[in-house]
Amino acid sequence: MSFPYTVLDLFSGAGGLTEGFYRNGFDIISHIEKDEFASKTLQTRSLYYALLKINKVHIYYNYYNNRINRDEFLKQCCELGIDNSEVIHEEISLITEDSLIDKINTQLIKRNINKINVVIGGPPCQAYSLIGRGRDRYGMLYDPRNHLYKHYIRFIQTFSPDLFVFENVPGIRSAKNGMIIEDFKKMIDESGYDSDQKILNASNFNVLQNRKRIIIIGWKKEYNLSYPDFAKSQTPYIINDLLSDLPELKPGCGSEISNYTGDRTKYLQESGIRTDETCIRHHVARPHNDRDREIYRIAIEKWNNGKKRIKYTELDPSLKTHKNEKSFLDRFKVVNGNGLSHSIVAHLSKDGHYFIHPDISQCRSLTVREAARIQSFPDNYLFEGPRSSQFIQIGNAVPPLMASGIATKIKDMLNRIYL
């Protein structure tokens, strides 16, 4: 078999895991994603790679820099014979399974491809996360998302890939008292695959974030393969290496397209996060009221001067707006400028209290671009939709640097099979 290897991308989100496979030269046959704005982000990124392949990437940057609108961007791509038919904006369910399989087969026939080498993806993690279960009175016992892994397995059984990569939060191990992960392993085994799982930390992939994910990798039983070894050396860089070249912003300030104000740091160059463009998107600060800003100042001073986190119970009564003083006492949290960030999550779409910028002179929460950088998305990655959706897309994603490290090992495994 000749390279490139092919990928079916399920529960794609905004394409963090996908990005890692794109960077390693994989050919994505189809992406399936139910969220409207995440699907548009996927479309935009897939067109970026399609244009890059034919040396027409300037069309993408015309769109990125707002020189042309989305309709004109799609029109110019279409005139070059590039469409977005591989991005399927649809929910995966019992009702849609068969029609989605038909659409994927149509893509394979259209492109004269007879084999999918890898299935990747991870169902939405809220039903498996400890936080999600803690907020649901039934512990998400009756959440239909508990069973999305069965759809993932159905696609594996249908397309018989050589390998698969299943990503999720570590909490899936304990969801429903461990029944979900055990059922997944049993069904995978009965489908003809060996598999293994490990909890990996994004910081071991040069991501400036402590973010743990369970990565299950499986392969057909007849292959003499094993779970790959991943390096455990933590990145030597810190968050200040990541944010220092961006314009300083006060709350409510910034423009949708802005210029860098600092030099490219060694980390930004080594990681590839800062691209060659002179302009940057999505660096606009949220507005904050005076009360929240005062809390932010207290939190930043406490953290920067003594590495201590503020507790809600410690605030002056004039700054408190919640009666609950028994749980979520760490609801105001400063990103560690001199170390790694805590895990970026989708809740950032609701407020920025848990992701306060470490610079007290700015005294605000993170922008979309800053959150994307902490997740290791490159600056030329364009997120579609309103700001709230952009934060959700970023918070739910696999960091691209981590995804690239995984994809590299998957390619090595496929090379052992075919070369």
| SS3 of 272-315 | CCCCCCCEEECCCCCCCCHHHHHHHHHHHHHHHHHCCCCCHHHC
Contact 383, 41 (CB under 8 A): yes
What DSSP assignment string belongs to 383-404? PPS-HHHHHHHHHTSPPHHHHH
Rounded to two decimals, what is the model's pTM? 0.94
- Cα–Cα distance for residue pair 313/291, rounded to 1 Å: 15
- Cα–Cα distance for residue pair 402/16, rounded to 1 Å: 9
Beta bridge partners of 182: none
Q: Is the peptide bond before 4 cis (omega within 30 degrees of 0)?
A: yes
Instruction: Give the 3-state DSSP-derived string for 244-275, with helices as H, strands as E and coil as C.
Output: CCCCCCCCCCCCCEEECCCCCCHHHHHHCCCC
Residue 253 annotated in active site: no
Residue 290 has a CB neighbour count (10 Å cut-off) of: 8
- Cα–Cα distance for residue pair 394/288, rounded to 1 Å: 21
Give domain limits for the chain. Answer: 6-233+398-418, 239-396
Q: What are residue 213's phi and psi, to 5 degrees?
A: -140, 145
Place of tokens 């507790």: 311
HSE on the CB side for 222, CA within 13 Å? 5
Contact 375, 344 (CB under 8 A): yes
In the sheet with 212-220, reading across from the earlier edge strand, the strands are: 87-89, 27-33, 6-10, 118-121, 163-168, 212-220, 193-201
- Cα–Cα distance for residue pair 361/300, rounded to 1 Å: 10
Select 6-233+398-418's CATH number: 1.10.10.350, 3.40.50.1820, 3.40.50.150, 1.10.645.10: 3.40.50.150
Confirm whether 6-233+398-418 and 239-396 share one CATH topology.
no
Per-residue pLDDT of the chain (419 residues; tens, 9 = 90+): 557 999 999 999 999 999 999 999 999 999 999 999 999 999 999 999 999 999 999 999 999 999 999 999 999 999 999 988 999 999 999 999 999 999 999 999 999 999 999 999 999 855 555 455 455 554 555 455 568 999 999 999 999 999 999 999 998 998 888 899 999 999 999 999 999 999 999 999 999 999 999 999 999 999 989 999 998 888 999 999 999 999 999 999 999 899 999 999 999 999 999 988 889 999 999 999 999 999 999 999 999 999 999 999 999 999 998 888 888 888 899 999 999 999 999 999 999 999 999 999 999 999 999 999 999 999 999 999 999 999 999 999 999 999 999 999 999 999 999 99
Residue 129 per-residue DSSP state:
S
State the catalytic residue, choosing from 125, 253, 279, 363. Answer: 125
CATH number of the domain located at residue range(s) 239-396 in this protein: 3.90.120.10
